[in-house]
Amino acid sequence: MPYFYFDTYYLFLVIPAVLIALLAQINVSATFKKYNAVRSSKGYTADEIARKILDDNGLYNVRIERVSGSLSDHYDPRSNVVRLSDSTYGSSSVGAIGVAAHEVGHAVQHSTGYFPIKIRQAVIPVTQIGSSLAIPLAILGIVMSWSLLTTVGILLFCAVVLFQLITLPVEFNASRRAVKTLEAQRILEGGELAGAKKVLRAAALTYVAALLVAVANLIRLIALSNRRR
């Protein structure tokens, strides 16, 4: 069986999707860099804003920690911690404040029982298995003409696609919560708020791109499986 049998789908499906994802990452980095240089007129730092929003929502038990890196910000529901990166923590830029408010939005989602985030949490165990084993199992099944193994691999990868799909409303909702809070409490106004929105919009596009890569890989696996049959 010639090597290009596998490479054709990868070349025309997966590689373009990966390039789009790379462009999305470059865009979010450039957008954040731009608005990380724009200081908030009120002088609040991102960690101060994060603490304020948490307290306003009664989430006094949620801690804020500093982690190394740039744009490595995230909310960890297991430890109940909002982790802000070096590029965000202590910064008074509108970009950093937008990112911090977004991550706090995830903490609020968990506390209010936001339904999509419950689904995402439920599929994480299967997704962790699928992200590492799905493609190797499916390809091995195709090579060995073992349809059951191929089917298992494809089903596992479906969980990965589902995770990426559910991530979209979760991330979009966290950004909407962030913008609404920043605007309602007049933490950012005018051009400052517009800058924070652009940062969050650019970040959202990276999740869309990640879904595109996952779908491209799934289509590739299904196409290879059907062609083998």
Distance in angstroms (rounded) separating the CA atoms of residues 209 and 103:
20
Q: Which residue has the tokens 């960890």?
A: 76
DSSP state of 64: E
Distance in angstroms (rounded) separating the CA atoms of residues 87 and 71:
7
Distance in angstroms (rounded) separating the CA atoms of residues 203 and 175:
9
Distance in angstroms (rounded) separating the CA atoms of residues 173 and 169:
6
CB 92 within 8 A of CB 43: yes
Respond yes or no: is residue 48 known to be catalytic. Answer: no
Selected catalytic residue, list 103, 171, 183, 189: 103
Residue 188 CA, chain-centre distance (Å), reads: 24
Output phi, psi for 103, to 5 deg.
Answer: -65, -35
Distance in angstroms (rounded) separating the CA atoms of residues 138 and 115:
31
Beta-ladder partners of 83: 65, 74
Distance in angstroms (rounded) separating the CA atoms of residues 178 and 155:
35
Distance set, CA 41 to CA 97, 103, 155, 180, 191 (Å): 12, 22, 51, 18, 11
Q: Which residues are catalytic?
A: 103
